[in-house]
Structure 1
Amino acid sequence: MRFLLVILLFTSGGHAQDLDGLAVGKQKPNIIYILADDLGYGDLSCYGQKKFSTPNIDKLAKQGKVFTQHYSGSTVCAPSRSALMTGQHTGHTPIRGNKKVPLPAQSVTLAEVLKENGYATAAFGKWGMGKVGSEGDPLKQGFDHFYGYNNQSLAHNYYPYFLWEDDQKVILEGNTGRGTGEYAPDLIHRKALQFIDKNKDNPFFLYYPSIVPHAELFAPREYMEKYIGAFDPESPYKGVDDGPKYRKGPYGSQEFPHAAFVAMVNLLDDQVGEIMQKVEQLGLTDNTIIIFTSDNGPHKEGGADPDYFDSNGIYRGYKRDLYEGGIRVPMIASWPGVIEKDTKTDHISAFWDVLPTMADLLGVELNSDLDGISFLPTLLGKKKQPKHDYLYWEFHERGGRQALRSGKWKLIRYNVNKAGNYELYNIEEEPSETRNIIDDQPKKAKALIKQLNNSRTYSEEFQFK
């Protein structure tokens, strides 16, 4: 286990104090972090979605704080999760793309920090940062328990032949052949609820990286039946429904992609509601932090149609873009009695801030290099919130892409491998990033380009050409 310099303010029997002496609970708060997969900034009704509603997530927002300028770790899944777990942006975190590279043993993860400070830890859903038995295995990265998909490609299929429980492969007999007897998100969800039940008497960290609503666009019949015909016209998607690649990554066919997408978000919303209900039933509401967010912007895969639903809101771009639509994500934090209810913040934050925030909450000092800044003052409604000088992202597909945000300025470079041109936007004045003003701001552009070029360290696995 990696060495951590620890100063612990919470005790299991005492009364904890926050930054300014506010009592925040009789024991360390439970932490539930729900990570949707490819859910856009505009896919929640509390963030402006008009074609369908998300009542349970809206309820979570009403009882907590909505972040309007929160950013994912990356624009695709594995590096986004790596940034979350390590507190480092994609110029420094070990996994910077969807290449199958395990999280190394020397990484200090969010789960390790919490486990070393008395938390039961578990992950339910999609891991994608190291196969079973590798150094990136969740059981070697601070989690006591794991259930779900270890391989992110196999997580494309909602009726898989197997899932993993810790280091054991669990065969799903109901999905044999072309069977659809066991819908994986239902199985994963039940395990998550059981974990809360089992750990109701001690502090726990529940990391819930759902696969919903990532393609393929499949939902149980009882959800689909509610929406077929409600979102016409439909454009059927032809996928892979048999053969050697069936259920090994390629998406299955979907006759009603619009209906299926809404059905999946409805399912996700119901699952969030059931988690909230479970926490309430167990009397844990006042001592439980629930955070809900998404790993990147909306996708256009498997028949998905984000333009129909305005899934990225006013923002340009989708998954795999470094424009705002690819990386600006919804984020809601609820902790009744501590986080002021029904509030919003425009504090600029990112996935790599979560680890230092939780360490700050517990009074844990880390002796590792982090890019993140604690947003605990914002959660607590305090005025003295440190701010980022800049945020940085890099992406290693489609010719290579980089982006940097510094205050109101956003610098973007596509086709990095071919010395592509830079773009500059003032996203306070023009958040939709349609007017490139780099020729109007030569001095600012020069400073930001220098910052961007200094924002990454060398990586053997993730290099620009």
Structure 2
Amino acid sequence: MKSNLKIKSLLYIGLLSIVFSCTSQSKKEKAAEDLTGNKPNIIYILADDLGYADLSVYGQQKINTPNIDMLATRGMLFTQHYAGAPVCAPSRSSLMSGQHTGKTSIRSNSKAPNVEEGQPPMSGETVTVAEVLKQAGYVTGAFGKWGLGYIGSEGDPNNQGFDEFFGYNCQTQAHRFYPTHLWNNREKYFLEGNDWKNTVTYSADVIHEKALGFIEKNKDKPFFMYYPSTLPHAELLVPNDEIFKAQKEKFGAEVPYKGKNGNDKGLDYGEDLEVKGYTTQANPHATFAAMVIRLDKHVGEVVAKLKELGIEENTLIVFSSDNGPHAEGGADPEFFNSNGIFKGIKRDLYEGGIREPMIVQWPKMVKAGSTSDHISAFWDVLPTVAEIVNIDAPTESQGISFLPALLGKQQKEHEYLYWEFHEKKGRQAVRAGNWKGVRLQMSKNPNALIELYDLSKDPGEENNIAEEYPEIVAKLSDFMKEAHVKNDRYKFDYEKDK
């Protein structure tokens, strides 16, 4: 496996490893075994399109999320954590691979050609979080939305380190909450009563029950459960239960969502349904709130299951979201102030599109009620879990373990974080310390102007100060060139003729 780090970076890392080797090893030994003498179970819960401020613990005023808030009360809340990308597939690829979007093998949302359902596969050479943990003796399971390779491909979750997978293989199918089927490993699992006309079995609830079953089944051995929930992604739709009824009463009469262009043809369940679309919704605000509350309920039930089985004290739980809030299917991030003080939503490389909530609960290891302003990203998760289980992280990872931050120890920082996005005419972004650079419309022009923001003074990215600091802009441009590695599948326009 190749490393593209520069020689000076290798020398720097080598010096650090010599200076800190003894300390690092002692931390690994301490962290790899909890107070019971066993490796901790690890649960990573990933919300779908949940904004930074969609949780009450992060400032949400219209929706209460007591169970997720309780994770923060009993653990650590991160204020400067970032997704891998501003949309689903590349963000999840970054999470699984420990690589940013300049290097990870999936860099945009797309459908695999000549396949009924599923996305282009993650490279078979990729070493995933699940594979690292299997090497350490963990049972591994994934429950929810995959989107990193169609069934049977090298990106199939069963080929990427997961012993068990249940949910949506295809993220396009996951636009619908009442599909005909989900996948149980490589076999279709049909949902009772669902036929694209009738909405009987709510997929998120079935996935949740399977996730709880995995915990129950593996309570006596170390396990890793990746739980990429489909909530609260569009379509906006929930069962007509007490959760929804309470929110419907709370929000009252609403302006209905009638489809992308105000035309509901082909969107609603029925003879003319188009899977890729979103159903109409008479109560979009109430429905979105109910979806977030349902997600919170599911998180609470995961914790309750751990308590019931007597394994909560030996379980590390991470909660985050894959990208910024969406404005699709009737969702209204402005109404809910879903991105808080930040500019941008899903598909933006401004803070609102990529800065995410992250909460970590690890009893007796992570200080209850603590907060961290450590700057971290999805590609840090793999080296973090590798350090927890005392296994070397793959050399291809650009991540830095944030285990020291979790344990209240001195934390190594990134020189920079990098993102690229292959839609919207091409976008790049870099964060280095408090400096944030954003380059738009660069697919045809890799030297397009860079906007510059000082996040310590301007977290909302309102004042572009690029003209005042040309030397900083030049440095961020160098980082962008260094971080982007050409990929034959994902080319910017300026690369296609080369």
Q: Would the TM-score normalized by the shorter structure come out above 0.5?
A: yes
Do structure 1's residue 194 and structure 2's residue 191 form an aligned pair? no
1:277 to 304, 313, 317: 304
Distance 2:371 2:192 in 1: 46
Q: Is the 8 A contact 1:64 1:340 kept in 2?
A: yes
CA distance in 1, matches of 2:402, 2:353: 22
Measure the CA separation in 2 of the matches of 1:264 and 1:120.
30
Q: Are residues 1:291 and 2:311 paired? A: no
The equivalent of 1:224 in structure 2 is 244
Quick one: distance in 2 between partners of 1:155 and 1:306? 20
State the 1:19 CA deviation. 3.9
Q: Relative to structure 1, is the Cα distance of residues 461 and 205 closer, same or farther in structure 2, using a 3 angstrom cutoff?
A: same
Local SS of the residue matching 2:483? coil
Equivalent residue for 2:363, pick from 317, 326, 336: 336
For residue 167 of structure 2, what is the amino acid of its counterpart? G
Paired residues of 2:196 and 2:270 also in contact (CA < 8 A): no
Confirm whether residue 50 of structure 1 aligns to residue 61 of structure 2: yes
| Aligned mates of 1:195, 1:98 — CA distance in 2 | 29
Partner Cα separation in structure 2 for residue 233 and residue 461 of structure 1: 47
Whether the 8 Å CA contact 1:232–1:258 is kept in 2: the answer is no
Residue pairs, 1:13-412, within 5 angstroms: 18-19=27-28, 21=30, 24-25=34-35, 26-99=37-110, 100-222=119-241, 223-232=243-252, 234-239=254-259, 240-242=267-269, 246=273, 248-382=275-409, 384-412=410-438
User: C-alpha deviations, 1:314-350, integer Å up to 9, x for none?
Assistant: 0000000000000000000001111000010000000
Deviation readout 1:62-87 (Å, 9 max, x if unpaired): 00000000000100000000000000
Whole-angstrom CA distance in 2 between matches of 1:366 and 1:315? 33
Residues 2-47 of structure 1 deviation map (CA, whole Å, 9 limit, x = unaligned): xxxxxxxxxxxxxx96347476331110000000000000000000
Query: What is the match of residue 463 of structure 2?
Result: 435
**Residue 11 of structure 1 aligns with which residue?**
none
The alpha-carbon distance between structure 1 residues 105 and 406, as it changes in their structure 2 partners (threshold 3 A), is same
48-57 or 96-105, which deviates more: 96-105
Residues 301-310 or 170-179, more deviating: 170-179
Deviates more, 1:140-149 or 1:230-239: 230-239
Structure 2: how far apart are the matches of 1:18 and 1:343? 20
Q: Give the aligned residue type for 2:250.
A: A
**Percent of aligned positions with the same letter in both sequences?**
53
Q: Are residue 417 (structure 1) and residue 443 (structure 2) matched?
A: yes
Q: Which amino acid aligns with 1:199?
A: N
Answer yes or no: is the 8 Å Cα contact 1:65–1:340 preserved in 2. yes
Q: CA RMSD in A?
A: 1.7
**Secondary structure at 2:80 match in 1:** strand
Could you tell me how far 1:220 is from its partner in structure 2? Answer: 1.3
Question: Is residue 41–residue 325 contact of structure 1 (8 Å, CA) maintained in 2?
Answer: yes
> Relative to structure 2, which stretch is displaced further, 372-381 or 215-224?
215-224
Unpaired runs of 5+ residues, structure 1, are 1-15
1:464 aligns with 2:492: yes
> Deviation of residue 421 (structure 1)?
2.5
Corresponding letter in the other structure for 2:144: G
1:221 aligns to what SS in structure 2? coil
- Corresponding position of 1:6: none
CA contact (8 A) 2:146 2:171 kept: yes
Match of 2:346, SS? coil
* Separation of aligned partners in 2, 1:190 and 1:247: 28
TM-score after normalising by structure 1 = 0.94
User: How far off is 1:234 after superposition?
Assistant: 2.2
Q: How far apart, CA to CA, are the structure 1 residues paired with 2:230 and 2:461?
A: 29
Q: Distance in 2 between matches of 1:146 and 1:19?
A: 29
Alpha-carbon distance change, 402 to 177 in structure 1, aligned in 2, over 3 angstroms: closer
- Cα displacement (A) at 1:147: 0.5
Aligned residue for 1:80, secondary structure, equals helix
Q: Aligned partners of 2:216, 2:102: CA distance in 1, in Å?
A: 39
Work out whether residues 424 and 445 of structure 1, in 8 Å CA contact, stay in contact via their aligned partners in 2.
yes
Query: How many residues of Structure 1 are paired with residues of Structure 2 in the alignment?
Result: 451
SS in 2 for 1:326: helix
